Amino acid sequence: NIGNSLFSGCNRLANIAIPNSVTSIGNSAFSDCTSLASATIPNSVTSIGDGAFYQCTSLTNVAIGTNVTSIGEEAFRDCIGLTSVIIPGSVTGIGNEAFRDCTSLTAIAVDALNPFYATLNGILFNKSQTTLIQYPGAKAGSYIIPNSVTAIDNYAFYNCTNLTSVTIPDSVTNIGDGAFLGCTNLTNITIPD
């Protein structure tokens, strides 16, 4: 195991090689490692702790192993250099705000065999696509939320500064806290009755 906060604040740490013997990455294990550019999480790892890579601002690439079942709350929050991420089929739980404020993120992909999560045009949903979990921070233009959606998660569109217009369908009954906070270029929004 890589313990909680083990390398937190090691701001000159540029590379990590996690061996196949590791099964768990603790809470805040690599948080504030601002020089860390890439991370490969081996298939032996089953859990990524809360805030494990929080504020790794240089992180552009992360490969999540195929046996990871849980991604903790704020695990990759404020990874402003991260451009894409692939959620493997093994993941059964993604904590709140796991990809919040990843302002360079253009797409979140989910393995088609994942029974709990799905992606549509790079946007993260639960499997039945009734909850919109995370809109990638760098996606630009207007967006029409699918009619299957009934809930928009907390901070789902947080700091999506390239988002200009959103249409929320009548099916939506719940919009989470801070869902559109920091959307500075959002000029038009259609909210249902």
The answer to whether 100 touches 124, Cβ cutoff 8 Å, is no
Q: Considering the chain, what percentage of its residues have pLDDT values greater than 90? A: 99
Residues in the chain, total: 193
pLDDT of residue 73: 97
pLDDT classification of 95: cutoffs 50, 70, 90:
very high
pLDDT of residue 175: 97
Mean pLDDT within 32-42: 97
pLDDT of 33 strictly over 90: yes
* Cα dihedral 130, 131, 136, 142 sign: positive
Tokens standing for 54?
């929080």
The answer to whether 106 touches 115, Cβ cutoff 8 Å, is no
Mean pLDDT within 101-117: 96
pLDDT classification of 192: cutoffs 50, 70, 90:
confident
Mean pLDDT within 76-95: 96
Q: What is the 3-state secondary structure (H, E, C) of the chain?
A: CECCCCCCCCCCCCCCCCCCCCCEECCCCCCCCCCCCEEECCCCCCEECCCCCCCCCCCCEEECCCCCCEECCCCCCCCCCCCEEEECCCCCEECCCCCCCCCCCCEEEECCCCCCEEEECCEEEECCCCEEEECCCCCCEEEECCCCCCEECCCCCCCCCCEEEEECCCCCCEECCCCCCCCCCCCEEECCC
pLDDT of residue 34: 98
pLDDT of residue 43: 97
Among 160, 152, 156, 169, residue whose Cα is nearest residue 187: 160
pLDDT of residue 56: 98
What's the whole-number average pLDDT of the chain? 97
Mean pLDDT within 1-14: 97
Mean pLDDT within 111-127: 97
pLDDT classification of 193: cutoffs 50, 70, 90:
confident
Partnered with residue 177 across adjacent β-strands are none
Tokens standing for 80?
């402003």
- Residues 128-174: tens digit of each pLDDT: 999 999 999 999 999 999 999 999 999 999 999 999 999 999 999 99
Among 151, 174, 147, 152, residue whose Cα is nearest residue 163: 152
pLDDT of residue 188: 96
